[in-house]
């Protein structure tokens, strides 16, 4: 299962103030982002590995645009959007706990006490 199966993808535009490094003028630019919203439920046919990855997945935005063209008619140069992040997580929850919180029903508890101990 690919990571894209965990998310609903949509391209969005966010108005962002950017300052051109060449002329120093600031304008609002419609910066394009790819929005990946985590699905409510995992699609059918997911393996336990998929479930684990899905549990850790978070909704996020990835910036599509790296460059914009200056809106100053006398400048018009292209410059890099360096001032802000390329990935933004939408739900800043606490870090996912390592390992499973819930053991699937019917799975016998493993007798690897040492291993659990080392995990902490
Ligand atoms: Zn400029």
User: What is the enclosing helix (H) or strand (E) of 22?
Assistant: none
Each of the 120 residues of the chain gets a pLDDT tens digit; together they read 888 899 999 999 999 999 999 999 999 999 999 999 999 998 888 999 999 999 999 999 999 999 999 999 999 999 999 766 789 888 655 444 444 444 444 545 555 445 445 555
What is the structure's pLDDT at 15? Answer: 94
Tell if the pTM clears 0.75, that is, is over it: no
How far apart are the CA of 86 and the centre of ligand 1, in A? 22
Neighbours of ion ligand 1 (CB under 5 A): 20, 22-23, 70, 72, 75
Task: Give residue limits of the domains in the chain.
Answer: 3-91
What is the structure's pLDDT at 100? Answer: 40
Distance between CA atoms of 112 and 109, rounded to whole angstroms?
9
User: For 33, what's the count of Cα atoms within 13 Å in the CB-facing half-sphere?
Assistant: 24
């Amino acid at each position: 299962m690919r990571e894209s199966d965990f998310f609903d993808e949509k391209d969005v535009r966010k108005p962002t103030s950017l300052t051109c490094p060449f002329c120093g003028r600031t304008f609002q630019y419609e910066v394009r982002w790819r929005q990946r919203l985590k699905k409510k439920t995992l699609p059918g046919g997911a393996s336990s590995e998929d479930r684990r990855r899905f549990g850790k997945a978070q909704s996020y935005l990835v910036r599509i645009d790296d460059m914009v063209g200056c809106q100053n008619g006398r400048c018009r140069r292209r410059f890099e959007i360096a001032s802000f992040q390329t990935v933004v997580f939408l739900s800043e929850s606490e870090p996912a706990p390592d390992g499973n919180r819930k053991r699937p029903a019917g799975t016998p508890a493993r007798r690897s006490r040492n291993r659990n101990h080392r995990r902490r």
